[in-house]
Amino acid sequence: MRPRASKEEESMRRPEIELSRCILCEVCQSASPSVFRLNSAGYMEVADFDAYPEEEVEEAIRSCPSRCISWVTDT
Ligand code: SF4
């Protein structure tokens, strides 16, 4: 089992979408509408927040049929 990130580490990570695999099903947007949105170019994008709602994003990651959402850590 993966060790849980500290609160500070959690606030530094953000969800990222591998766009080449995204099929624009909008499931992530349903799971976390504040974080995932369709941009004007027609791609799913991640809103720019300092911290993300952990449970909602985890739900989006679990639900994405293309498995193309993952956490990345800002450096
Ligand atoms: S759930 Fe996955 S495949 Fe569907 S729109 Fe979101 S990122 Fe793309």
Long-range contacts of 35-44 (CB under 8 A, 24+ apart): 35/60, 36/60, 43/19, 44/17, 44/19
Question: In CATH, what number is assigned to the domain containing residue 32?
Answer: 3.30.70.20
Range of the domain at 40: 16-73
Task: pLDDT tens for the chain, 75 residues: list them.
Answer: 555 555 555 558 999 999 999 999 999 999 999 999 999 999 999 999 999 999 999 999 999 999 999 999 976
Q: What angle do CA 69, 73, 14 make, to 5 degrees?
A: 50
Residue 54 lies in a domain: yes
The rounded distance, in Å, linking the Cα atoms of 30 and 14 is: 18
pLDDT of residue 26: 98
Residue 5 lies in a domain: no
pTM: 0.84
pLDDT of residue 62: 98
Residue with the smallest CA separation from ligand 1 atom 4 is: 25
Residue with the smallest CA separation from ligand 1 atom 8 is: 22
